[in-house]
Structure 1
Amino acid sequence: MSDPTQPRDPAGVLAARHDAGVTAWSELARAAAQESLRRQVLAAGEAVVAAVTSGRTLLVAGNGGSAAIASHVAAEMLGRCVQDRAPLPAVSLAESTSSVTAIANDYGFEQVLARGVRAHGREGDVLLAMSTSGASPNVLAALQVARERGLVTVLMTGARGAGLGELADHLLVVPSEETPRIQELHMLWAHAWCEAVDEVMQELP
């Protein structure tokens, strides 16, 4: 029997977490390959690719790790993912520390993303929003403003956000309640779209 007063072996903890992650991913990969979810991801991706390759702006929003993914996706559009092409308009709405803290201080944290949508979003643009829980008030507020302004809306979430279909044109639910696994699949989907954008842009004049 292990002694609870002694620290756990780091190597053992690491091995356990690694193996648990690999097992979770193998199960998640099978779930993600199911045709119903695949169709939803492709439909959302087609909307994103069509918008950005025709000159529309992609707005990306999330908190914490999802904000990091948002920044990553916007960078892929401004730079490139895998193939060289012209830069495309994209904005990560939580990118500016000054803006986020000023808006949170003056208007409340729930408005930090919504005001970005009001400032940058135009009809026909796309808001890609991410909330692993589906319960982030500032993300939901941004989606509401985006729909009011005629943007195409995509919400990536986890199993707890499965009932939010009325909030977005495209609701993509990772069948998991584990935040790391949810964010990893969000990144996979976004990378697939970014790679598709690169390929489509090769064929445009």
Structure 2
Amino acid sequence: MADQGITAGAGRPAFLDPASHDAVVESLSQRQADGIAAWAALSAAIAEPVMTERVARAGHALVSSLAAGGTLLVCGNGGSASIASHFAAELVGKCIHDRAPLPAINLAESPTVMTAIANDYGHDQTFARGVAAHGRPGDVLVAMSTSGRSRNVLEGLSQARAHGVTTVLMTGAAGEQMHDSADHLLAVPSQDTPRIQEVHLLWMHVWCEAIDVLGYGTS
């Protein structure tokens, strides 16, 4: 008996069979509809004055640091690490307007550094060592953990505060109680990892656009 996901005798996934086209389109359409519905609910929640104020305060801490010559450190695991790369790229490069480059370091960027630290000191220290190496008083660390419980992220935040680095933790509903872990806690009211990361990306773009529009980094 063939596996349910494989076309019998063909050795190919069923979705490659032209006969399954309608089912695939229906599934994708439903997923898109579900995502839009989830975003509609999230949009209302993150537009609440309390949340917009928190995002603005965290953004103000970031732009104030950059304006004073500080550096953005950013970290996260998996999908959050890719957002960290995106964030650093927007500052070293640009978001929407040309300007002078701004200093930003993604602590998860180098697999060589990450694996060396994990091998020698343990995975929990992968971001803490980077913060100790690069962080200076007045810098900002933006850390992302959809669960709010990633040990290497929490260790990085702890190291940052010990070095006088302002800390921002972007997380989801599960991390809403982590107020003691960071100076600024931004918790997306959702348990759905893709939606949480999409909101983190939105906030990152809001900050980057504001930096460009306000002229931070302009020579």
Alignment TM class, shorter chain as reference: over 0.9
- Map 1:9-20 to 2 at 5 A: 9-20=23-34
CA drift at 1:11: 1.4
Do 1:40 and 1:172's aligned partners in 2 also have CA atoms closer than 8 Å?
yes
2:196 is matched by which residue type in structure 1?
I
2:92 is matched by which residue type in structure 1?
L
* Structure 2 partner of 1:102: 116
Change (3 A) 1:105 1:203: closer
Q: Does 1:195 align with 2:209?
A: yes
**How many aligned residue pairs are there?**
202
1:188 is matched by which residue type in structure 2?
L
CA drift at 1:173: 0.6
CA drift at 1:54: 2.1
Q: Does 1:171 align with 2:219?
A: no
**TM-score using structure 1 length:** 0.95
Q: Does 1:71 align with 2:85?
A: yes
Give the distance between the partners of 1:185 and 1:203, measured in 2 at CA.
Answer: 25
Q: Does 1:124 align with 2:138?
A: yes
Do 1:53 and 1:201's aligned partners in 2 also have CA atoms closer than 8 Å?
no
Give the distance between the partners of 1:137 and 1:202, measured in 2 at CA.
Answer: 33
* Structure 1 partner of 2:10: none
Give the distance between the partners of 1:61 and 1:144, measured in 2 at CA.
Answer: 13
Change (3 A) 1:141 1:53: same
Q: Does 1:182 align with 2:196?
A: yes
Q: Please provide the CA RMSD for this pair.
A: 1.6
Residue from 24, 40, 51 that aligns with 2:65: 51
Tell me which structure has the larger Cα radius of gyration. 2
Do 1:53 and 1:197's aligned partners in 2 also have CA atoms closer than 8 Å?
no
Residue from 126, 148, 151 that aligns with 1:137: 151
1:44 is matched by which residue type in structure 2?
A
**TM-score using structure 2 length:** 0.89
Do 1:53 and 1:88's aligned partners in 2 also have CA atoms closer than 8 Å?
no
Give the distance between the partners of 1:68 and 1:203, measured in 2 at CA.
Answer: 24
Unaligned 5+ runs, structure 2: 6-13, 15-19
Deviating above 6 A after TM superposition, structure 1's stretches of 4 or more consecutive aligned residues are none
CA drift at 1:81: 0.5
Q: Does 1:115 align with 2:129?
A: yes
* Structure 2 partner of 1:26: 40
Q: Does 1:148 align with 2:148?
A: no
